[in-house]
Amino acid sequence: MPMLEVDTTEPCLQDEVDKALRDVVTVGVRGLTKGLESDFHSHRKAQLVLSLSGVLTCEAEGGIWIVPPQCALWIPGALMHRMTAAGRIESYGVFIEPKNSPPLPSTCCTVTVTPLMKELLIRSAQFPTHYKRAGIETHVTSLLLEELSLAPVGTLHLPMPKDSRLRAIFQGLMTNPAGGGTVESWARQVGASERTLARVIAAETGMSFGRWRQHLRIILALQWMANGATVQQVAIDLGYESVSSFVTMFRKTLGVSPKRYMATV
């Protein structure tokens, strides 16, 4: 299928890939965007999304998953989800017939992309939607499925709580990410005790308040930098006392400095 531009309408694409009578259909998308967001939708087929440049995020299953460059996101079939994109996008979506695939994750997750998997994705995107069976196309897509079944699963996502008090905190952090605040101060704002709020946060997110807020800041930092913000501006907007403290947090979370990370975007 030819590469599509980022403004391609999602409903048309969804209908086409779900009706395609092939086990694997790959679609490439590219273009420059300052912010693109789809509505909540689902595919009958399972989906793997690889980002080669730009920053993609996905909200599904009560969480927000970051899809950084050179990583991929696995979305099981029939799962309601919403995608957002920022920066110069080049991504590949692989739609997989669940009944004919090897054992694959049953929940939304990020996966590590091997060099071989990357090349198989790019190659399969060049195939027509209804490619010939038993030809090279089938061999390539079969190997792609085997590589995917062996890929390590990642954990870079932000759990989204259901508790109304935590949702209010999330909205507050999104509105004013530099505002900070402690569990104690947020507890007073939402009408709960500090102990109760800490317990609910841990129960619904599996994280402490500090780690949960840190993951949110990583998502915001990636989106802002993909839109052209400098590391210094991001550090200020997130409320860090110095650029070095922000860089330290970023490196501990993603393994590299913000500049080195964004050089791959």
Listed residues 154, 180, 196: the one ending a domain = 154
Whether residue 131 sits in one domain with residue 47 = yes
Whether residue 13 sits in one domain with residue 144 = yes
Q: Give the domain extent around 214.
A: 161-262
Contact 166, 201 (CB under 8 A): yes
Whether residue 182 sits in one domain with residue 119 = no
Whether residue 78 sits in one domain with residue 57 = yes
106: left (phi over 0), alpha (psi -120 to 50) or beta: alpha
For 200-226, the pLDDT digits (tens) are 999 998 899 999 999 889 888 887 887
Whether residue 137 sits in one domain with residue 9 = yes
> Per-residue confidence at 6, pLDDT binned at 50, 70, 90?
low
Whether residue 202 sits in one domain with residue 108 = no
Whether residue 258 sits in one domain with residue 133 = no
Whether residue 208 sits in one domain with residue 172 = yes
What is the total count of domains within the chain? 2
What pLDDT shows up at residue 10? 52
Q: Tell me the three-class secondary structure of the chain, residue by residue.
A: CCCEECCCCHHHHHHHHHHCCCCEEEEEEEEEEEEEECCCECCCCEEEEEEEEEEEEEEECCEEEEECCCEEEEECCCCCEEEEEEEEEEEEEEEECHHHCCCCCCCCEEEECCHHHHHHHHHHCCCCCCCCCCCHHHHHHHHHHHHHHHCCEECCEEECCCCHHHHHHHHHHHHCCCCCCCHHHHHHHHCCCHHHHHHHHHHHHCCCHHHHHHHHHHHHHHHHHHCCCCHHHHHHHCCCCCHHHHHHHHHHHHCCCHHHHHCCC
What pLDDT shows up at residue 152? 83
Whether residue 197 sits in one domain with residue 231 = yes
Listed residues 134, 154, 174: the one ending a domain = 154
Mean pLDDT of the chain: 85
Whether residue 132 sits in one domain with residue 171 = no
Return the CATH number at 212: 1.10.10.60
How far apart CA 219 and CA 214 sit, in angstroms, is: 9
Whether residue 57 sits in one domain with residue 128 = yes
Strands 4-5 and 24-37: parallel
One-letter identity of residue 173: L
Instruction: Tell me the pTM.
Output: 0.74
For 65-100, the pLDDT digits (tens) are 877 666 789 999 999 999 888 777 888 999 998 776
> Per-residue confidence at 198, pLDDT binned at 50, 70, 90?
very high
> Per-residue confidence at 9, pLDDT binned at 50, 70, 90?
very low
